[in-house]
Amino acid sequence: MYHQLGRMSGRLVAATHLQNPLFPIAPVALQRVEPPKIVYNTNQMSTVSEACPTTSRPKRLIPGTNIPFPPVSEEIKRKQELFQKDNGVPVFLKGGPFDAVLYRFTMLLCIVGLMGFAHTIYGHAVPKK
């Protein structure tokens, strides 16, 4: 038995006019259609060379706009050099002694939390007398 959507209720009802699964559709091959061509709006888009005048180094643009990225400050450049240096120190400790204190404090909180979790589980597993 075949079903269709009812016109009034929108629910699934038994189909009365379908005798076989291909009625009223004939088994015809799908027709090939050319995909639509992508048309770019060239009024709002430009290349880097159009947006920035020719300089020694072309500026990168913020994606989707014609606005160049703002210049990076010297402090940020210095910190990038510090954190990208390959000196064998993990990245979470490269900030100096304050990072080491924060790391150890975080590990202490994790251990205290695990001990509290274990105490709670033990308290629920072993009933008091």
- Going from N- to C-terminal start, the domains of the chain cover 43-71, 73-129
Q: Are 60 and 70 in contact (CB under 8 A)?
A: no
> In sequence order, what DSSP letters do the residues of 95-109 get, joined into one string?
T-HHHHHHHHHHHHH
**26-30: long-range contacts (C-beta < 8 A, 24 or more apart)?**
none
pLDDT, one tens digit per residue, over 54-109 is: 555 667 888 888 888 888 899 999 999 999 989 889 988 898 899 999 999 999 99
The answer to whether 99 touches 106, Cβ cutoff 8 Å, is no
Domain 73-129 has CATH 3.20.20.70: no
**Which letter, b or e, does each residue of 30-48 get, where b requires 16 or more Cβ atoms within 10 Å of its Cβ?**
eeeeeeeeeeeeeeeeeee
Contacts (Cβ under 8 Å, ≥6 apart) of 72: none
Range among 28-32, 41-45, 64-68 rated most confident: 64-68
pTM here is: 0.44
Across the range 36-64, mean pLDDT stands at: 66
Q: CA–CA separation, 21 vs 1, rounded Å?
A: 9
DSSP state, residue 24: S
pLDDT at 18 over 60: no
